Amino acid sequence: MSTNIPGNLKYTKEHEWALVEGDTVTVGITDFAQSALGDIVFLEVPEVGSELKNGSTFGVVESIKSVSDLYAPVSGEVIARNTDLEGSPERINQDAYGSWLIKVKVKDKNDLANLLTAEQYQEFCNTSH
């Protein structure tokens, strides 16, 4: 059971983390998610300029044996992608919170209210797995 859930981040039930800074949201996958996936070997995230829709899939992360969809925590435009991960997605296994995937410019700030707090996400992980 993962206990690595930083208090300064927000979370989704699909195990993404979100760092909210003004109207910019930095998105990654949680330590729980990387641990469940195992050795991450492939990552696909949208180009800068793509529009994301809250709750919809925006990319995939693949381990040796599995494919998992990534879900957008908010609606908005992709303003950056972490090119450091392109050749070495295994960094997500080593440091899930240091390995952000994309940055999104939030379209509707109401989306932020629906994200889980660290406490809520911890509770979610405890009860659903």
Partner 1 sequence: MESLQKTYLYDEHVKLGGKIVPFAGWDMPVQYTSVKDEVLAVRNNVGVFDVSHMGEFFVEGKDAEAFVDSLVTNDIQGAEMGKAIYSPLCREDGTVIDDLIVYKLTTGHVMICVNASNIDKDFNWIKSKHTGFKCNLTNKSSEYSLLALQGPKSFEILRPLLRELPDLEYYSVFQTEFGTHQVIIARTGYTGEDGFEIFGSHEAIKALWQKFMTLKVVPCGLAARDVLRLEVCYPLYGHELNDEVNPYDAGLGWTVKGAKTNFIGKEALASKKARYKLVKLVLERGIPREGYPVLNGKNEAIGVVTSGTMSVVTNKGIAFARIEIDKVPADEVFNVDIRQKSYPAQLVKKPFVTGGHK
Nearer residue to partner 1 within complex by CB, 6 or 38: 38
* HSE toward the beta carbon, residue 63, CA cutoff 13 A: 12
Nearer residue to partner 1 within complex by CB, 44 or 119: 44
41 forms part of the interface with partner 1 (CB under 8 A): yes
Query: Residues touching partner 1: how many (CB under 8 A)?
Result: 11
95 forms part of the interface with partner 1 (CB under 8 A): no
CB 104 within 8 Å of CB 18: no
Report how far residue 18's alpha carbon sits from residue 83's, in angstroms, rounded to the nearest whole number.
Answer: 18
Shortest Å distance, C-beta 98 to partner 1:
20
DSSP characters over 103-120: EEEES-THHHHTSBPHHH
* Residue ranges binding partner 1 (CB under 8 A): 38-39, 41-42, 44, 60, 62-65, 67
